[in-house]
């Protein structure tokens, strides 16, 4: 399966690009309503979890204060495959994920697209395509987000808005412009994706093994998440790739919870190798119905901005 060229950064006009995955489906109408209800939930809401988590993973901030190498502005391409089916009904899953993260003089830009094709044992096929764009201020005080989801080539959801972290005596909140005007109150401790991963990398550099945070990532207009990050021992790099030269990495697992249900199981979990320059590889995404493995296939570095 091939994947299109990267999405243009934060363009208002979204270009949903062609790929062999779409070509394989042709123009056939897939009857989404006939798919098992719980799989529909996972393959719509669940895939958004993967997107939000990943653009958080790769949206790492400025860690010079923590004596970590400056972060690498880059594009990463991952091949996704089914690692484990956790419930009956799924016969095959494949997909692609492309993430771009760029540091600018005013903030961090992230653009991501994830496309997942799922074959069910009853012969049905589902296609989920989620694209996100975001901008986060360098100090983590502001966050703008835009999420679009296609289900079987039909627009299923749009989320667009901005949020603030409650600085300067302002209450922390998210303001949504789409799908409808709405507000979501956020706790004072709220973090946005880049700031969250900045804290994770800083904690790893200090030898800490756990980080607990409250995260808003723009993937829902109704909730934010309690996020628990477990960090393993630092490992030396033996890879020959240029982007990994001189780097070391940590095994990391991030679990997303409903903050109002402390005893509930995580809604989504992700594990990966996190390098000091912010690149991730050996990605595993655990949904309630299946586990996806993501292999880093390609990485392109971008120049540091001249501010």
C-alpha distance across the termini of the chain, in Å: 39
What is the CB neighbour count within 10 angstroms for residue 211?
Answer: 20
pLDDT at 121: 83
Task: Say which residue the tokens 């292999």 belong to.
Answer: 295
Q: What is the pLDDT of residue 240?
A: 62
Taking the whole predicted model, whether its pTM rises above 0.85 is answered as no
Q: How many residues does the chain have?
A: 307
Per-residue tokens: 92? 């095959």
Quickly list H helices, the chain: 20-25, 37-41, 47-58, 193-205
* 174-182 contacts at long range (C-beta below 8 A, 24 or more positions apart): 174/216, 174/218, 174/221, 176/221, 179/221, 182/221
What does the pLDDT look like over 192-217, one tens digit per residue? Answer: 998 998 899 899 999 999 999 999 99
pLDDT tens digits, the chain, 307 residues: what are they? 443 333 333 333 333 333 333 333 222 222 222 222 333 333 445 555 454 544 444 333 222 233 334 477 889 999 999 998 887 888 888 999 998 988 888 999 999 999 989 888 888 888 989 999 999 999 999 999 999 989 889 998 999 999 999 877 789 999 999 999 999 999 999 999 989 988 998 999 999 999 999 999 998 888 899 999 999 999 987 766 777 777 889 999 999 999 998 788 888 899 999 988 888 889 998 887 788 999 999 999 888 888 8
């Amino acid at each position: 399966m091939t994947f299109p060229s990267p999405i243009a950064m934060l363009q208002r006009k979204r270009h949903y690009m062609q790929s062999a995955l779409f070509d394989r489906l042709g123009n056939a109408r897939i009857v989404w309503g006939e798919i098992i209800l719980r799989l529909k939930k996972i393959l719509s809401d669940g895939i958004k979890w993967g997107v939000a988590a990943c653009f958080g993973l790769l949206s790492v901030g400025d860690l010079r204060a923590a004596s970590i190498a400056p972060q690498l502005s880059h594009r990463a391409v991952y091949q996704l495959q089914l690692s484990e089916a956790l419930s009956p009904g799924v016969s095959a899953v494949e997909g692609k994920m492309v993430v771009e993260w760029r540091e600018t003089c005013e903030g961090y830009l992230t653009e991501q697209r994830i496309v997942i094709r799922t074959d069910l044992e009853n012969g049905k096929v589902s296609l989920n395509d989620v694209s996100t764009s975001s901008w986060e201020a360098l100090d983590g005080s502001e966050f703008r987000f835009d999420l679009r989801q296609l289900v079987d080539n039909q627009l299923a959801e749009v989320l667009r808005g901005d949020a603030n972290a409650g600085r300067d005596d302002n209450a922390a909140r998210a303001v949504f412009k789409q799908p409808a005007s709405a507000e979501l109150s956020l706790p004072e401790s709220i973090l946005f994706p880049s700031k969250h991963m900045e804290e994770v990398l800083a904690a790893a550099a200090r030898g800490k093994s756990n980080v607990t945070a409250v995260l808003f990532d723009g993937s829902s207009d109704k909730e934010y998440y309690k996020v628990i990050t477990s960090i393993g021992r630092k490992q030396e790099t033996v890879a020959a790739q240029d982007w990994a030269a001189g780097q070391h990495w940590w095994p990391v697992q991030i679990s997303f919870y409903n903050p109002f249900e402390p005893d509930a199981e995580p809604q989504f979990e992700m594990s990966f190798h996190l390098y000091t320059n912010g690149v991730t590889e050996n990605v595993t995404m655990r949904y309630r119905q299946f586990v996806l493995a993501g292999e880093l296939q390609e990485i392109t570095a971008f120049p540091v901005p001249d501010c």
